[in-house]
Amino acid sequence: MSGISRRDLLGWGAVAAVAPVVAGCTAGTPDGPAAKPSTRAKPRRIGDGSAAVVAEQPNQPPPPEQLEPGEKPPQFVVFSWDGAGEVGNGLFPRFRELARNHGARMTFFLSGIYCLPEDRRHAYRPPNNPRGASDIGYLSDEHVKETLRNIRAAWLEGHEIGTHFNGHFCSGRGSVAHWEPEDWEWEIEQAVSFVTEWRTHTGFTDVEPLPFDYREELVGGRTPCLLNQENLLPVARKLGWRYDASNPGGEQIWPRKRHGIWDLPLQQIPFPGHSFEVLSMDYNILANQSKNALHGRTDHYPHWRQQATDSFIAGFERAYETNRAPYFIGNHFEDWNGGIYMDAVEEALKHIADERHKDVRLVSFRQFVDWLDVQDPKVMKHLRTLEVGEKWSPAGR
Domain annotation covers residue 47: no
CB-CB neighbours of 297 under 10 Å: 11
What confidence tens digit (pLDDT) does each residue in 325-380 have? 999 999 999 999 999 999 999 999 999 999 999 999 999 999 999 999 999 999 99
pLDDT of 10 higher than 60:
no
Burial (CB < 10 A; 0-12, 13-18, 19+), residue 373, is exposed
On the question of pLDDT at 385 being above 60, the answer is yes
Range of the domain at 368: 6-28+58-383
Bridge partners (DSSP) of residue 329 are 79
Average pLDDT over all residues of the chain: 90
Per the domain annotation, does 295 fall within a domain? Answer: yes
Q: What is the pLDDT of residues 42-53, one digit of tens each?
A: 788 888 999 999
- Number of folded domains that form the chain: 1
Helices (H), the chain: 6-18, 91-101, 141-156, 181-196, 198-202, 214-217, 229-238, 282-289, 301-321, 336-352, 365-372, 377-383
What's the average model confidence in pLDDT over 385-389? 97
CB 176 within 8 A of CB 227: yes
Whole-model pTM? 0.90
For the chain, percent of residues with pLDDT exceeding 70: 89
Average pLDDT over residues 290-316: 97
CA separation for the pair 240, 262 (Å, rounded): 12
Look up the CATH number of the domain holding residue 317: 3.20.20.370
Q: How confident is the model at residue 55 (pLDDT cuts 50, 70, 90)?
A: confident
Going by pLDDT thresholds of 50, 70 and 90, the confidence category of residue 8 is very low
Q: Is residue 206 part of a domain?
A: yes
Q: Which of 14-18, 69-73, 129-133, 240-244 has the lowest mean pLDDT?
A: 14-18
Handedness of CA 185, 186, 191, 192 (dihedral sign): positive
Summarised one tens digit per residue, pLDDT across range 21-45 is 323 333 334 444 444 444 455 788 8
On whether residue 53 sits in a domain, the answer given is: no
Mean pLDDT, range 282-306, rounded to an integer:
96
Is 1's pLDDT higher than 50? no
Cβ–Cβ under 8 Å, residues 346 and 24: yes
247 part of a folded domain: yes
Confidence (pLDDT) at 41: 53
In a domain, residue 396? The reply is no
Question: What was the pLDDT predicted at 371?
Answer: 98
**77, β-bridge pairs:** 327, 362
Residue 28: the pLDDT is: 39
* Segment among 3-17, 129-143, 248-262 with least mean pLDDT: 3-17
What CA–CA distance (Å, rounded) separates 12 from 113?
Answer: 20
Distance CA 347, CA 19 (A): 23
Helices (H) and strands (E) in the chain, counts: 12, 12
Is residue 389 included in any domain, yes or no?
A: no
| pLDDT at res. 54 | 81
Report yes or no on 44 lying in a domain: no
